[in-house]
Amino acid sequence: MSTFSFIEATSWQCAECNQPLQAAKVNVAYLGSVFNVELMTCPQCGFILVPENLAMGKMLEVEQLLEDK
Amino acid sequence: MTRRARLTSFHTRHGNQKTHPINPNLQANTNEMDTTCHCPPPTTIPLYEQDELAEVTGGTLRPGGIALTAELLTYCNLQPGAAVLDVGCGPGHTLALMALNFGLEPTGLDPSATMLEKAARNAPTASFLQGSATSIPCESDSFDAVVSECVLSLTGDIETSLREMYRVLRPGGLLLLTDIYCKEGLGQPELPGLHSCLSHALPLENIEKGLAQAGFTLHSFRDRSDLLKQLAGQIIFTYGSLEKFWQLFMGAEAAHRTCCALFSAPLGYYVLIAQKGEHHG
């Protein structure tokens, strides 16, 4: 099993629903591919928090992989 | 205990399953397989037996997963009840799909007893044979179709494997093939300590030549390298990085070298359908 996770305790809440975020498996569509990732989401409206280390780190790594060189 | 004895006990435990008759002419070859070892050295890791890979591929151990298999089977429009051999059936997800969703009569062939036991749990109505693609323990003209997914390059001798697949197909039968290939001129990545299709990938021209030499007519070919990239991306999201994924199976330095080797020798993934001529034996 993978020990890696983007899930972490966060003080962020969904402003629209005023709900604390919960971990959920979501599909991330990126550069024509779809990836299954566990992220913090609003249990009511499904709004997803994309943490900085995902946006600036893993997304970049995947982007480099998906781009034809 | 010999490989054949293990096979016998395997069938005993799953006594309600039928198998295609073994060609007596192949008996000597099958026995030879036990003594002429084509296996990797004991320290080499068979990637396809690792649960970590199954975790990111939904159990199917290959790019595209079961969705690609369903797409191929739909395209081929095999009749319900058609006999289909899955060469390198692994944990049997394709066998289950063929039996449950397409009404086919699947037989799984794999050299790994571990994989065959998993396959029997996943596809209890299928038939099973333990053996190699280079010496398929079945009579000639036995199957309406042969499926082999991400396996051909692992067999060690693609010409012989393709000839064997051709032999067991009935005239007009279809070969559904998917596998990794290495982009021409760039060579195979050197991945010591890893037994997988990644380290045995061949250029496309070798595959095409092997198909033609065996007697197949190529029906359709699609480059699906996008699915290989999709899988690599999913590994990054699941394990943090490709290097961390490889570290599950080897030391940090070897994992780093593996990543570098794969980066410098890009690989692709293909899907093809070929046919055995109607008038060939």
Question: B168 and B146 in contact (C-beta within 8 Å)?
Answer: yes
Q: What pLDDT does residue B41 have?
A: 39
Least confident of A19-28, A35-44, B167-176, B189-198: B189-198
Residue B14: predicted pLDDT: 34
Q: Are B252 and B245 in contact (CB under 8 A)?
A: no
Higher pLDDT, B236 or A67: B236
Q: Can you give the pLDDT at residue B125?
A: 96
Identify the pLDDT of residue B42. 36
Is the ipTM higher than 0.90? The answer is no
Residue B87 to residue B71: CA distance in whole angstroms: 18
- Average pLDDT in the A39-62 region? 84
Q: Which residues of A touch B236 (CB under 8 A)?
A: 58, 61-62, 65
Do B55 and A2 lie within an 8 Å CB cutoff?
A: yes
Token output for A56:
């600036």
Interatomic CA distance for residues B164 and B35, integer angstroms: 20
Interface test with A, best of B226, B228, B236 (most A CBs within 10 A): B236
A28 touches chain B (CB under 8 A): yes
A58: which chain B residues are within 8 Å (Cβ-Cβ)? 236-237, 240-241
DSSP at A65: H
The pLDDT of residue B58 is 61
CA–CA dist B127, B120 (Å, integer): 8
The predicted pLDDT at position B185 comes to 58
- Amino acid identity at A21: L
Residues from chain B contacting residue A69 (CB–CB below 8 Å): 266
Interface residues on B facing A, Cβ-Cβ cutoff 8 A: 52, 55, 226, 229-230, 232-234, 236-241, 244, 266
A11 touching chain B per CB within 8 A? no
For residue B226, which residues of chain A lie inside 8 Å, CB to CB? 32-33
3-state SS track over chain B: CCHHHHHHHHHHHCCCCCCCCCCHHHHHHHHHHHHCCCCCCCCCEEHHHCHHHHHHHCCCCCCCHHHHHHHHHHHHCCCCCCEEEEECCCCCHHHHHHHHHHCCEEEEEECCHHHHHHHHHHCCCCEEEECECCECCCCCCCEEEEEEECCHHHHCCHHHHHHHHHHHEEEEEEEEEEEEEECCCCCCCCCCCEECCCCCCECHHHHHHHHHHHCCEEEEEEECHHHHHHHHHHHHHHHCCHHHHHCCCCCHHHHHHHHHHHHHCCEEEEEEEEECCCCCC
pLDDT, position A33: 83
Q: Which chain A residue shows the shortest CA-CA distance from B248?
A: A2
CA B196 vs CA B80, B104, B199, B200: distances in Å? 33, 29, 6, 7
| The predicted structure's pLDDT at residue B75 | 95
Residue of B nearest to A26 (CA): B237
Query: Out of A1, A58, A69, whose CB is closest to B236?
Result: A58
B182 beta partners: B267
Q: In this model, does residue A65 exceed pLDDT 80?
A: no
Tokens describing residue B59:
């159990």
How crowded is residue B65: how many other Cβ atoms within 10 Å of its Cβ? 20
A68 close contact with B: CB closer than 8 A:
no
Task: Show the low-confidence residues of chain B (pLDDT under 70).
Answer: 1-61, 184-199, 263-265, 279-281
**Predicted local distance difference test score (pLDDT) of residue A3:** 54
A35/B240 Cβ within 8 A:
no
Joined together, the tokens standing for residue B161 give 């494997």
Residue of chain B whose Cα is closest to the Cα of A39: B237
Residue-level pLDDT at B47: 61
pLDDT confidence of residue B59: 58
Nearest chain B Cα distance for residue A56, angstroms: 13
- Closest residue in A to B242 (Cα) is A61
User: Given this model, what pLDDT does residue B62 score?
Assistant: 79
User: A64 to chain B: nearest residue by CA?
Assistant: B233
Contact A62 B237 (CB under 8 A): yes
